[in-house]
Amino acid sequence: MTPVLEARDLAKTYDTGGAKVFALRGIDLSIESGEFVAITGPSGCGKSTLLNLLAGLDRPTSGQVWLDGERIDQLSETELARLRRRKVGFVFQFFNLMPTLSAAENVELPLLLVGRGRKEARRSASTLMSDLGIGDKQDAAPAQLSGGEQQRVALARALANSPDIVLGDEPTGNLDSVAAREVLTLLRAARDRGQTLLLVTHDARVAAAADRVINLRDGLVSDQTELQPARPVAFPFDGDSG
Ligand SMILES: Nc1ncnc2c1ncn2[C@@H]1O[C@H](COP(=O)(O)OP(=O)(O)OP(=O)(O)O)[C@@H](O)[C@H]1O
């Protein structure tokens, strides 16, 4: 089977005027369609850099990125933007919501960009936001929302198009356990529909819900753990008081 996402000997060096930072030093990884993969590792080990390269948001210093059988690290900005719009949903660490649009309009945007009608976009945004516990925040501006609410708007936006691949940088980073449970439920539902998930996380409960955990250290894959596919479906948040 062709992997849906692949990194081949991927390296990224940041040159900050004299001092070089070797953020990634030769990453090989292969994500199958429909997999839920968590990326973990200490601060500064290269997780966000890896995610940005896999999403085509930044370019590697060397090595290759393949998305759905197509090499993407050499595509033009226009081609990359088109590809991302069609295939990738991305939840940024700092959300990147459009400040002048309402929460619902932020979620509708990717649907409108691929030519869906306004009514359909509005309906999908409303359903997704309700599922994430922010149905009453549709008309709010991003600046009127808490960090956790903004994060869920960003997630709704990433899922709106039903993209083949959902990439997320700390998607539960700002959430209390009730909101984190709603986010994880939605992510798992996306996986159950066949979408591929690759999430950078410090949250052990998100990692526990994944099919595979890839651990990075100093810009390299230090180990990978396949979690039992037949493990009990007990929800990692069950037993939480929050
Ligand atoms: N734009 C940049 N310019 C220079 N150095 C950078 C840049 N972005 C990241 N780095 C450096 O590259 C290394 C990897 O950073 P990265 O953000 O990928 O780590 P991370 O594992 O995601 O960290 P965290 O868990 O703290 O978010 C770090 O040493 C960081 O300081």
Distance, in Å, from the CA atom of 200 to the CA atom of 223, rounded to the nearest integer, reads 15
In the chain, domain spans: 5-226
The minimum-distance atom of ligand 1 relative to the CA of 41 is 21
pLDDT at residue 193, rounded to an integer: 84
Interatomic CA distance for residues 170 and 40, integer angstroms: 10
pLDDT at res. 47: 96
The pLDDT score that the predictor gives to residue 241 is 42
Which residue has a Cα nearest atom 31 of ligand 1? 44
Instruction: With H, G, I as helix, E, B as strand and everything else as coil, classify residue 166.
Output: strand
pLDDT at 236: 54
Alpha carbons 60 and 120: distance in angstroms, whole number? 37
Residue 144: strand, helix, or coil: helix
Residue 206 C-alpha to ligand 1 middle, in angstroms? Answer: 21
pLDDT tens digits, the chain, 242 residues: what are they?
679 999 999 999 999 888 899 999 999 999 999 999 999 999 999 999 999 999 999 999 999 999 999 999 999 999 998 888 889 998 887 788 999 999 999 999 999 988 889 999 999 999 999 988 899 999 999 999 988 899 899 999 999 988 999 999 988 887 888 888 888 888 888 888 889 999 999 988 889 999 999 999 999 999 999 886 544 444 555 544 43
pTM: predicted TM-score of the whole model, two decimal places:
0.88
Q: Which of 48, 59, 198 has most ligand 1 atoms within 8 Å of CB, for mutation?
A: 48
> How many Cβ atoms from other residues are within 10 Å of residue 159's Cβ?
23
Q: In the CATH hierarchy, which fold is given to the domain comprising 5-226? A: Rossmann fold (3.40.50)
Residue whose CA lies nearest to ligand 1 atom number 7: 14
Spatial CB neighbours of 144, under 8 Å, sequence gap ≥ 6: none
Question: Which residues does ligand 1 sit against, CB inside 6 Å?
Answer: 14, 16, 21, 23, 41, 43-49
ipTM passes above 0.85: yes
Q: What is the pLDDT of residue 242?
A: 39
